Amino acid sequence: MFSAVTSISISSRILLRSPCLRLANRPYPQSRTSAISSYLKSPSYSKRFYPRLARNESESHLKVEDAKATGPSAPPDHPSYLAEFAKEEDTLFERNAAKYLKQTEKAPLYGKKRSIEPEKLLETRYRDELLKEDPTIDLPKYEESLGRPKILKQIFFTLFVGLTSYQVLAVLTTDETHKLSAVFPVPLMTHNSQLRMLRTSLIAERLKKELEQWKAALSAFPQTIARPILWAYVTAANMYIESSEGRRVMYQICAMNGIVFLLWQLRYCRAFMHRSFLHHPLSGRSYTLLTSVFSHQSIIHLLANSFALISFGSAATSFLQDHQAKNRENVQEATPIYHFWAFYICAGLFSSLTSHIVRVKFDYPRLLAKIRASAIGQNIPETVNKPSLFRNLGLLKKEGSPDAVAQKASRLIPASLGASGAIYSAVTLSALAYPNADVQLLFPPITMPISWGVGGMVMLDILGILRGWRLFDHWAHLSGALFGLFYYKYGVQIWDKDRALCEVVYLESEAEERGGK
C-alpha cells in the first residue's frame, strides 16, 4: 500500500512539472476550466502525452512489489528512480505532442517560430475534445436566450386599459342616464330610484320579447324538449328581473367566467386558452393581465370565486349606489352597474400587475441565482448533469427527465389566473363601507364580524408570503385589498368628478346638435 501511494506521488510531482500542465494552467474562460481540468486528469490524456512515463511508473511499481517479495531494497522515492524519470522528461512531451498535433509543421515544438502558436493549437484540440463530450458547449446559455423580462410594457398596458375602460364606462353611464331621464316630463328633476325602476321595466319587456322568440324557435321540437328549455329561461329571467342592480352585475361577471371555464374544457381550445387566458410572467404578453381575471380552470376555483363575488360584490355595488345619491356634483345616475365594472376591471388589472412585477423582479432573479449556484456544484441533485445545467436549465442524464426542471421553474414562477385580486378589492371595500356587518363562513360554519374576516385573510396572505407558500397568489390578494382601500378613500370621488366632466361634454354636444339643426 505504501509503495503504491509513493509511486503515485512521484508521478504527480513529475506531471506537475511538465510543460503541458504549465500550459494548461493558463487562464481559460470560467465555463471551460472544469472540463479542461477533468480532461487533463483523464486516462486518454496520459496515454497520449506520457505513454513511456506511465509504463515506467507501472514498472517501478512492479519493482517495488518484487523488492517486497525478495527483501529490503531502496525505497520507491530513491534518487535513482527520480533521475530515471527526469532523464526522459525533457524529450518525452515534445515527441508525443508533435505526434498528437499532426497538422503542424515538422519543426520542434519549442524550436523556430511558427505561424500558429502551440498554445492556440492545443486550445483548439482541447475544444475538440470538449465538443466530443458535450456538443452543446458552443450553444448560447439559457440565461442569455431568456433575456431580462421587462415591466414597462405591462405598466403602460395597465394604465392605458384601466383609464380607457374607466372613461368609456363613465360615458356609457351618462348616455343611459340621459336616455332614461328623457322619458320623464322634467328630466333634471328625476330621482335615481325612478330611473332604476324604469330601467327594470325595460329589462322585463326585453326579456318577454326574447321569450316569444324562444317559443317560436322551439315550436318544431317535441314538448319534452321545449318545455324544460323554456322553464329554465323563465326561471333565470325572473331571477334577473327581481334582483338588485348589484346582483345583476354579479350575474353578468359570473356568466363571463362560466363561458371562459367551458372553453377550458374543450380540448381543441386549450392551446389558445393557455396562450390568451393564462398570464405567464416571462411570456412578455400584456393583454393576459386582463383576460386572466376572467379565467378559471377548475370548477372549485370558479364556484368559490362566484360565491364570494355574489356576496361581497353586491354589497360593494350597494355602497357605490348609496354614495352616488349623496354625491357633491349632484349628477344623476340610472345604474351603478357601469361603475362597478370600472372598479372591477381596474382592481383586476392592478392586482395582476403587482403579481407580475413581483414574479419578474424578485422571483426570476432568485431562480437565476439558484441556477448559478447549481452550475458551480452547490445543491445539485444526483440526476442533473452539472456542466450543462446553467446553459440549458437542467439538461438531465438518462436517469432523469427534462420535464423535472421545467416543473421546478414553473413552481417558482407559476402562471396566474382567476378573479381573486378583484374579489379581494370588493371584500375590502364592503368591509370598510359596512364595518358593523357580519359574515358567515362555510367551513367552519360560524359567524364573525366582517372586519375580523378580512383581517384574518390579509394576515394569512402575509404569512404565506413570509413562508413561501405557492398554493395561492398572495401578492395578488394583498394588492387587491390595497386597491379596495384606495378606492374607498379616493375612488368614489374620482368617479364623481369624471361623471361630472362627462355630463358637461354631453350637454355641450347636445347643444351643438340642436344649434346645427
Give a yes or no: residue 144 inside a domain. no
Do residue 393 and residue 292 come from a single domain?
yes
Q: What gap in Å lies between CA 446 and CA 453, rounded to an integer?
A: 11
Give a yes or no: residue 206 inside a domain. no
Give a yes or no: residue 197 inside a domain. no
Span 78-94, pLDDT tens digits: 555 555 555 555 455 55
Judged against a pLDDT cut of 70, whether residue 374 lies above it is answered with no
Q: What is the 3-state secondary structure (H, E, C) of 386-450?
A: HHHHHHHCCCECCCCCHHHHHHHHHHHCCCECCCHHHHHHHHHHHHHHCCCCEEECCCCCCEEEH
Q: What gap in Å lies between CA 384 and CA 382, rounded to an integer?
A: 6
Contact 257, 294 (CB under 8 A): yes
Span 124-149, pLDDT tens digits: 666 666 666 656 555 555 545 555 67
Give a yes or no: residue 143 inside a domain. no
Boundary (domain end) residue, out of 117, 138, 159: 138
Do residue 344 and residue 280 come from a single domain?
yes
Boundary (domain end) residue, out of 112, 138, 164: 138
The residue type at 318:
S
Do residue 247 and residue 295 come from a single domain?
yes
Do residue 73 and residue 181 come from a single domain?
no
The residue type at 456:
G
Do residue 101 and residue 184 come from a single domain?
no
Give a yes or no: residue 202 inside a domain. no
Do residue 259 and residue 354 come from a single domain?
yes
pLDDT of 371 reads 63
Boundary (domain end) residue, out of 104, 138, 172: 138
The residue type at 289:
L
Do residue 317 and residue 360 come from a single domain?
yes
Cα angle value 42/43/47 (rounded, 5°): 125
Range of the domain at 164: 150-190+243-516
Q: What's the whole-number average pLDDT of the chain? A: 74
pLDDT of 459 reads 92
Q: Please tell me the total number of residues recorded for the chain in this structure.
A: 517
Give the pLDDT band (50/70/90) at residue 422: very high
When pLDDT is averaged across residues 338-357 and rounded to a whole number, the result is: 95
Q: What is the 3-state secondary structure (H, E, C) of 221-248?
A: CCHHHHHHHHHHHHHHHHHHHHCCHHHH
Give a yes or no: residue 504 inside a domain. yes
Give the pLDDT band (50/70/90) at residue 107: very low
Plot region of 79 (φ>0 → left; ψ -120 to 50 → alpha; else → beta) = alpha
Phi, psi at residue 194, to the nearest 5°?
-65, -40
When pLDDT is averaged across residues 259-285 and rounded to a whole number, the result is: 90
The domain spanning residue 398 has which CATH number? 1.20.1540.10
pLDDT of 16 reads 43
Q: What gap in Å lies between CA 511 and CA 454, rounded to an integer?
A: 49
Do residue 328 and residue 404 come from a single domain?
yes
Look at 274 and 407; give whichever has higher pLDDT.
Answer: 274
When pLDDT is averaged across residues 390-406 and rounded to a whole number, the result is: 41
Do residue 478 and residue 363 come from a single domain?
yes
Q: How many CA atoms lie within 13 A of 287 on its CB side?
A: 5
Pinpoint the alpha helices (H) of 28-151.
Answer: 30-40, 43-49, 51-70, 79-100, 118-133, 142-146
Look at 231 and 440; give whichever has higher pLDDT.
Answer: 231
Give a yes or no: residue 375 inside a domain. yes
Do residue 30 and residue 79 come from a single domain?
yes
Q: How many CA atoms lie within 13 A of 132 on its CB side?
A: 7
| CA 128 from centroid of its chain's CA atoms | 39
Do residue 104 and residue 127 come from a single domain?
yes
Do residue 101 and residue 157 come from a single domain?
no
Q: What gap in Å lies between CA 83 and CA 233, rounded to an integer?
A: 104
Give this prediction's pTM: 0.67
Contact 31, 66 (CB under 8 A): no
Q: What gap in Å lies between CA 343 and CA 162, rounded to an integer?
A: 9
Give a yes or no: residue 218 inside a domain. no
Judged against a pLDDT cut of 70, whether residue 424 lies above it is answered with yes
Distances in Å between the Cα of 456 and the Cα atoms of 430, 438, 461, 462, 463 are 15, 14, 9, 10, 10
| CA 410 from centroid of its chain's CA atoms | 7
Judged against a pLDDT cut of 70, whether residue 171 lies above it is answered with yes
When pLDDT is averaged across residues 313-333 and rounded to a whole number, the result is: 85
Q: What is the number of domains present in the chain?
A: 2
Span 37-60, pLDDT tens digits: 555 555 555 555 444 444 444 455
Which residues have C-beta within 8 Å of that of residue 162, sequence separation ≥ 6?
A: 345, 346, 349, 350
